[in-house]
């Protein structure tokens, strides 16, 4: 009897989750800018995904940003696949701050670390925007605990103070990808942000330029560990944050 009840409750939960996913897309489409984005982009998105063997109704996504190179990569996979594949690269059209993580409100820095999308803003000041969950646990440990800052987005337009702008046209496309992924049941859309592409000449140069900042170098080496782990598996990272703010990758 207990087994029967458990199975029934699981069925109800799965059914409610599926309904919630569909409702998310439906709610987003009530907004004019999201409607416009779907009207302009969805047919091409579905066509392009089908061409690489990704079923639109199985889409999951992951984002990787490289500050020094000014690039935002979109990685995709089917639900049943463990490995993401690199699919598109968007130009980050403006930047602020210096190499290094964000540590306090008003510093103008773009964060560095391992994040997820935690907000969809269909009425953004910058057309459409996807919120990043800065400060994460590591940031809280390592940053100004009283005033770490917040409200970091990937958004449209081409101006920024600590965010990642990719123009109105490109945010329309990326926003649709993100809505579709969430509607397909992806509750955590990763966003990994690096000062430069780990292993590249740009990354090596940054390490050399900041040789007198051991704390920063240690932070970047830790980020590279996560990047190397992702490139080895092409799977979403499983991250544990130690008490010292360093990340451990399972």
- Annotated active-site residue 93? The verdict is no
Q: What are phi and psi of 8, to 5 degrees?
A: -65, -45
Cβ–Cβ under 8 Å, residues 135 and 148: yes
pLDDT the model gives residue 10: 45
Three-state DSSP class for residue 188: coil
Percent of the chain at pLDDT > 90 equals 84
In the predicted structure, residue 26 carries a pLDDT above the cut 90: yes
pLDDT the model gives residue 189: 98
pLDDT the model gives residue 223: 98
Mean pLDDT calculated for residue range 110-136: 97
Instruction: Look up tokens 């409100």; give the residue.
Output: 105
Cβ–Cβ under 8 Å, residues 229 and 222: no
In the predicted structure, residue 8 carries a pLDDT above the cut 70: no
In the predicted structure, residue 16 carries a pLDDT above the cut 50: no
pLDDT the model gives residue 222: 97
**Residue 233: exposed, middle, or buried by beta-carbon count in 10 A (0-12, 13-18, 19+)?**
middle
CA distances for 149 relative to 62, 136, 141, 192, 231, angstroms = 24, 11, 13, 18, 30
CA distances for 90 relative to 100, 138, 145, 165, 170, angstroms = 21, 27, 33, 10, 7
Three-state DSSP class for residue 73: strand
DSSP letter for 186, please. Answer: -
**Residue 59: exposed, middle, or buried by beta-carbon count in 10 A (0-12, 13-18, 19+)?**
buried
Cβ–Cβ under 8 Å, residues 74 and 197: no
Q: What are phi and psi of 87, to 5 degrees?
A: -120, -45
- Radius of gyration of the chain from Cα atoms? 19
Output the CATH code of domain 17-249.
2.40.440.10
Q: Got the DSSP string for 32-44?
A: HHHHHHHHHHHHH
Which of 159, 178, 158 is closest to 167 using CA atoms? 158
Percent of the chain at pLDDT > 70 equals 92
pLDDT the model gives residue 143: 87
Any bridge partners for residue 88, and if so which? Answer: 74
In the predicted structure, residue 11 carries a pLDDT above the cut 80: no
* C-alpha 53 chain-centroid distance: 22
- Sorted by where each begins, the domain ranges of the chain are 17-249
- Annotated active-site residue 163? The verdict is yes
Among the options 16, 155, 158, 247, which is catalytic?
A: 155
Of 6-15, 70-79, 214-223, the poorest mean pLDDT is in 6-15
Among the options 147, 163, 188, 210, which is catalytic?
A: 163
The mean predicted confidence, pLDDT, of the chain is 91
Three-state DSSP class for residue 152: strand
For the entire predicted model, the pTM comes to 0.90
pLDDT, tens digit (0-9, with 9 covering 90-100), for 185-238? 999 999 999 999 999 999 999 999 999 999 999 999 999 999 999 999 999 999
Cβ–Cβ under 8 Å, residues 66 and 97: no
pLDDT, tens digit (0-9, with 9 covering 90-100), for 148-185? 888 999 999 999 899 999 999 999 999 999 999 999 99
Cβ count near 228 (within 10 Å): 13
């Amino acid at each position: 009897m207990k087994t029967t009840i458990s199975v029934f409750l699981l069925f109800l939960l799965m059914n409610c989750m599926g309904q919630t996913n569909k409702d998310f897309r439906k709610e987003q489409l009530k907004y004019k800018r999201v409607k416009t984005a779907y009207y302009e982009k969805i047919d091409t998105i579905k066509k392009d995904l089908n061409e690489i063997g990704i079923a639109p109704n199985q889409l999951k996504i992951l984002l990787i940003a490289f500050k020094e190179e000014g690039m935002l990569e979109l990685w995709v996979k089917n639900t049943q696949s463990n490995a993401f594949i690199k699919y598109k690269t968007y130009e980050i059209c403006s930047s602020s701050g210096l190499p290094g993580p964000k540590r306090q409100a008003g510093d103008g820095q773009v964060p560095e670390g391992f994040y997820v999308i935690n907000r969809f803003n269909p009425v953004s000041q910058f057309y459409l925007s996807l919120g990043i969950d800065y400060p994460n646990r590591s940031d809280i440990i390592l940053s100004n605990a009283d005033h770490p800052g917040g409200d970091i987005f990937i958004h449209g337009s081409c101006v920024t103070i600590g965010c990642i702008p990719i123009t109105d046209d490109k945010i329309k496309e990326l926003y649709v990808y993100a809505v579709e992924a969430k509607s397909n049941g992806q509750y955590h859309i990763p966003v990994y942000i690096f000062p430069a592409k780990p292993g590249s000449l740009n990354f090596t140069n940054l390490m050399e330029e900041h040789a007198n900042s051991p704390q920063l170098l240690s932070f970047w080496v830790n980020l590279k560990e996560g990047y190397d782990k992702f490139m080895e598996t092409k799977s979403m990272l499983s991250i544990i944050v130690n008490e010292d703010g360093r990340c451990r990758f399972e």
